[in-house]
């Protein structure tokens, strides 16, 4: 009954942690493609191929349902995967839709036509590849009209977080917020469009000011998954064991992950 959780690095552990809190009895297999991280600076073709390879590895672990806990993969690869590659008995879900449903105050799975919503000015902070894909704007347009989105590619933030350099990460976040607010001085809401960014949520909030509502993904994705599994219990795979896999150096990744989540995490070679 295991579910797979994939990220290019360790950022997706924020999503895994939230799912564990929401569904404590659900076995989870996490795969970090640390050998090829970060994805945010790669081409869409490269991201598609790497993501497909990772998802296949999770299927081998008995995970018929895989969550792409990576905004870059969700933005650059997911639509093509779902349309051309994922077999009928498997599911691959991304992290954008739960965020947009929360932003537009729609119920999970509400497929009614797009409508006007309370939030009109939205700041999006994401990796360069996610911003370039315009996937967030595309998904938002299915659900809301009249929303102005200003996107800021946050180069360097993921690298700084992965390297454990909080001082650099904080400085970069403040610089990116400043750059966005020169173009959109008064956003009503800010979307943290990368699963690494919840670790810097307090810095984003401080830089944006108290009047901006910050949307962070982990808890929203966990709630959406719980709802999905109630509706589609047959998508629970055959896997029964929770584990952490990496394409990188297991010892080095385990050390970073333990620091990242502040609890002991042991990765195995994928």
Q: Average pLDDT over the chain, rounded to whole?
A: 93
In a shared domain, residues 169 and 63:
no
Residue 108: band (very low, low, confident or very high) from pLDDT cuts 50, 70, 90: low
Which residue out of 52, 63, 70, 154 is catalytically annotated? Answer: 70
SS3 per-residue string spanning the chain: CCEEEEECCCCCHHHHHHHHHHCCCCCEEEEECHHHCCCCCCCHHHHHHHHHHHHHHHHHCCCCEEEECCHHHHHHCHHHHHHHCCCCCCEEECCHHHHHHHHCCCCCCCCCCCEECCCCEEEEEECHHHHHHCHHHHHHHCCEECCEEEEEECCCHHHHHHCCCHHHHHHHHHHHHHHHHHHCCCCCEEEEECCCHHHHHHHHHHHHCCCCEEECCHHHHHHHHHHHHHHCHHHCCCCCCCEEEECCCHHHHHHHHHHHHCCCCCEEEC
Q: What is the mean pLDDT of residues 141-158?
A: 94
Q: What is the mean pLDDT of residues 54-61?
A: 97
| pLDDT surpassing 70 at residue 257 | yes
Token pair of 85, please? Answer: 């590659």
| pLDDT surpassing 70 at residue 109 | no
Instruction: Give the model confidence (pLDDT) of 77-104 as tens digits.
Output: 999 999 999 999 999 999 988 889 889 8
Residue 83 and residue 57 in contact, taking contact as beta carbons nearer than 8 Å: no
| pLDDT surpassing 70 at residue 206 | yes
In a shared domain, residues 189 and 228:
no
Token pair of 83, please? Answer: 């349309």
In a shared domain, residues 57 and 74:
yes
In a shared domain, residues 223 and 90:
yes
Active site residue 194: yes
Q: Quick one: which of 6, 71, 11 has its CA closest to 257?
A: 11
| pLDDT surpassing 90 at residue 30 | yes
Instruction: Give the model confidence (pLDDT) of 150-203 as tens digits.
Output: 999 999 998 898 888 889 999 999 999 999 999 999 999 999 999 989 889 999
Q: State how many domains the chain has.
A: 2
In a shared domain, residues 9 and 89:
yes
In a shared domain, residues 167 and 198:
yes
In a shared domain, residues 225 and 265:
yes
Q: What's the confidence (pLDDT) of residue 208?
A: 98
Q: Which residue did the predictor score with more confidence, 213 or 110?
A: 213
Q: What's the confidence (pLDDT) of residue 164?
A: 81
In a shared domain, residues 110 and 83:
no
Residue 117: band (very low, low, confident or very high) from pLDDT cuts 50, 70, 90: very high
Residue 199: strand pairing partners: none
Q: What's the confidence (pLDDT) of residue 215?
A: 92
| pLDDT surpassing 80 at residue 107 | no
Read off the CATH number of the domain in which 133 is found. 3.40.50.1860
φ and ψ at residue 125, rounded to 5 degrees: -110, 125
Rg of the chain taking only CA atoms, in angstroms = 18
Name the domain boundary from 215, 234, 249.
215
Q: Find the domain containing 54 and state its range.
A: 3-94+218-269
Residue 106: band (very low, low, confident or very high) from pLDDT cuts 50, 70, 90: confident
In a shared domain, residues 24 and 123:
no
- Cα angle 29, 77, 42 (rounded to 5 degrees) comes to 95
Residue 44: band (very low, low, confident or very high) from pLDDT cuts 50, 70, 90: very high
In a shared domain, residues 117 and 87:
no
Which residue out of 52, 63, 154, 194 is catalytically annotated? Answer: 194
In a shared domain, residues 54 and 127:
no
- The rounded distance, in Å, linking the Cα atoms of 242 and 233 is 18
Token pair of 95, please? Answer: 């992290």
Active site residue 52: no
Residue 148 and residue 122 in contact, taking contact as beta carbons nearer than 8 Å: yes
Q: Does the pTM of the predicted model rise above 0.85?
A: yes
Q: What is the mean pLDDT of residues 133-159?
A: 93
In a shared domain, residues 125 and 46:
no
Residue 39 and residue 50 in contact, taking contact as beta carbons nearer than 8 Å: yes
């Amino acid at each position: 009954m295991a579910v797979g959780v994939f990220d290019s690095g360790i950022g997706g552990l924020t999503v895994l942690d939230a799912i564990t809190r929401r569904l404590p009895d659900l076995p989870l297999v996490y795969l970090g493609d640390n050998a090829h991280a970060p994805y945010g600076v790669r081409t869409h073709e490269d991201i598609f191929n790497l993501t497909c390879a990772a998802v296949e590895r999770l299927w081998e672990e008995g995970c018929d349902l895989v969550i792409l806990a990576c905004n870059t993969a969700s933005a650059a690869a997911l639509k093509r995967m779902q349309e051309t590659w994922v077999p009928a008995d498997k599911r691959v879900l991304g992290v954008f839709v739960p965020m947009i449903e929360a932003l537009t105050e729609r119920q999970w799975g509400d497929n009614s036509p797009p409508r006007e919503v309370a939030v009109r000015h939205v700041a999006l902070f994401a990796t360069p590849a996610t911003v370039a894909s315009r996937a967030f704007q595309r998904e938002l347009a299915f659900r809301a009209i009249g929303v102005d989105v200003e996107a800021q590619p946050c180069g360097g933030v993921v690298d700084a977080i992965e390297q454990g350099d909080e001082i650099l990460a904080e400085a970069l976040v403040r610089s990116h917020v400043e750059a966005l607010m020169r173009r959109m001085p008064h956003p009503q809401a800010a979307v943290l469009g990368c699963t690494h960014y919840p670790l810097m949520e307090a810095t984003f909030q401080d830089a944006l000011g108290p009047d901006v509502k910050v949307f962070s993904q982990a808890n929203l994705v966990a709630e959406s998954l719980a709802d999905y599994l109630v509706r589609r219990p047959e998508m629970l795979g055959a896997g029964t064991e929770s584990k952490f896999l990496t394409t990188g150096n297991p010892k080095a990744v385990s050390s970073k992950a333990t620091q990242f989540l502040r609890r002991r995490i042991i990765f195995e070679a994928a």
